[in-house]
Amino acid sequence: MPTYEYKCPNGHVFEIFKRIADPAPEKCPVCDASPVETVLYPVPVHFRGSGFYSTDYGRGRGKKEPAKDTSDSGSSEKKDTPPEKKAAEA
């Protein structure tokens, strides 16, 4: 069963073990003041490992580049090859 923490208007804080379906307490067990409020605490979140970005969203799933047409035989692309060197005459 979960533990619930409550606070009365007079500042008393107390814990109760109860089911979710059970009703909340109406009065403080110390001073019989009512109404009591549920005390909520922030839940910690831990991001561990290689990260959620690399696993959940992945790389390369962004905008796709348009497909390149490779059948164009008249393209004037230059290849990165060094010019041929002539043998030095002695």
pLDDT at 75 over 80: no
Token pair for 47:
């991001």
pTM of the full predicted structure? 0.47
Give the pLDDT confidence of 12-62 residue by residue, as tens digits: 999 999 998 999 899 999 999 989 999 998 888 877 766 556 555 555 555
Mean pLDDT over 70-77 rounds to: 57
Region of residue 53 (phi > 0: left; psi between -120 and 50: alpha; otherwise: beta): alpha
Q: What is residue 74's predicted lDDT score, i.e. its pLDDT?
A: 54
Token pair for 61:
């799933």
Secondary structure E strands in 22-61:
37-38
- When pLDDT is cut at 50, 70 and 90, the band that residue 1 belongs to is confident
Alpha carbon distance 78, 52 (integer Å): 42
